[in-house]
Structure 1
Amino acid sequence: MYGLVNKAIQDMICKHHGEETWEIIKQKAELEDIDFFVGMDAYTDDITYRLVAAACDVLGMETEAILQAFGEYWVTYTAEEGYGELLASAGKSLGQFVENLDNLHARVGLSFPQLRPPAFDCEHTSDKSMELHYQSTRQGLAPMVIGLLHGLGKRFHTKVDVTQISFREQGASHDIFSIEYDDSQTYDQRTGD
């Protein structure tokens, strides 16, 4: 994965748990020799998985919870790290954005030539619901997708309910998420009502 992912993990940990906790996590992941991650450099996936495992251990959280929190954080982080215009070009609503995820990754791939993005296929089941088919060469990242969808809900001021209905880790060919969303003007993202 690219250093931008590892930098985002570091930023999330430092922001919510402090620099000292980050140093403990880095040490537990046996990455104390890395002073900082370069966003545009490719790193082995193992480094990212080790950071997540160490964060789970140090913070006493389940992997799914960390990955969901990270997925949600990633939406804001990438917008703040200079990718806001790119994100804005992918759609003006949750539905549009999700439909354009593969196109977005293709554009990102122009700057990150070693990118191995997942594939997303969106199937609308009504004007307020869809099924999202997610395929990746990487294992265990479905909870991050759930977090991403919640982060996108916040970005678009849209109430989102995500249920995973097919699980690659249980033998399915890929993960599928059922998404119900409400983008009516009455939704208040601060209160969730």
Structure 2
Amino acid sequence: MKGIINKGIQEMVESMYGTDAWNTVKEKAGCNEPFFAISLDYPDEMTIALIKAAAEVSGRDEETVMVEYGKFMVPNTLKKYYPTYFKLAGSTAREFLLNMGKVHEQATRSITNAKPPHFDYEETSDGKLRMCYHSKRNLCAVLRGLILGVGILFNEKLKVQEIACVHKGDPNCIMEVTFS
């Protein structure tokens, strides 16, 4: 995964639990990186190990940590490192989510070997947005958090319901977003 992902984990852990906790997370994950260059590739296994270690250090389960990470990532790490893309993505949470695929493509265009997720969208008659998530990494819990983080960014209350998940045998993950 790209360094921005690991940088976000670091910033979340340091923000929520402090620098000592981050050092413990790195140690438990077997991570010897002094810092993460946001555009470099790091092994997916390292990212997963960091998430598992963050769960252990925080006393939370991995899924909760992944959701919290997603919520933190959008209004903090991603906004800080990719401000131009955020300006172009829209002025509401709905617009931003509908442009999330384009944002991923633009943000990773110049990054060699990037494998951004792909999204298909369906707007329901009752105003909800269904997002079908396509990724070999299947980090559905992170996506739930990212969607909630978009709500935080735009000061909008969003509800996310997972209506299909590859981890439950479905062919894709589908998130249904309610805007209020």
TM-score, length-normalised on structure 1?
0.88
Task: Write the distance in 1 (CA, Å) between the matches of 2:127 and 2:105.
Answer: 27
Structure with max Cα Rg: 1
| Structure 2 counterparts to residues 124-163 of structure 1, below 5 A | 124-126=123-125, 128-139=127-138, 141-163=139-161
Partner of residue 164 from structure 2, selected from 163, 166, 182: 166
Deviation at 1:136, TM superposition (A): 0.6
Query: In the alignment, residue 41 of structure 1 is paired with which amino acid?
Result: L
**Secondary structure of 2:114's aligned partner:** coil
Displaced runs of 4+ in structure 1, greater than 6 A?
none
Task: Write the distance in 2 (CA, Å) between the matches of 1:89 and 1:142.
Answer: 25
Query: In the alignment, residue 171 of structure 1 is paired with which amino acid?
Result: G
Task: Report the equivalent of 1:15.
Answer: 15
- 8 Å CA contact 1:98, 1:122 repeated in 2: no
- 8 Å CA contact 1:94, 1:152 repeated in 2: yes
Deviations 1:115-143 (A, max 9, x none): 1011111110036311111111103x111
Task: Write the distance in 1 (CA, Å) between the matches of 2:26 and 2:178.
Answer: 37
RMSD: 1.2
> Is 1:121 matched up with 2:120?
yes
Deviations 1:63-100 (A, max 9, x none): 1110111101110211112x112112011212211111
**Secondary structure of 1:134's aligned partner:** strand
Deviations 1:27-57 (A, max 9, x none): 11111x2211111211110100000011111
Deviations 1:15-34 (A, max 9, x none): 11011111111111111x22
TM-score, length-normalised on structure 2?
0.94
Task: Write the distance in 2 (CA, Å) between the matches of 1:113 and 1:149.
Answer: 26
- Note the residue ranges of structure 1 that are not aligned, 5 or more in a row: 183-193
Query: In the alignment, residue 37 of structure 2 is paired with which amino acid?
Result: V
Task: Report the equivalent of 1:56.
Answer: 55
- Note the residue ranges of structure 2 that are not aligned, 5 or more in a row: none
Task: Write the distance in 1 (CA, Å) between the matches of 2:47 and 2:162.
Answer: 23
Task: Report the equivalent of 1:188.
Answer: none
Structure richer in helix, relative to its length: 2
Deviation at 1:111, TM superposition (A): 2.5
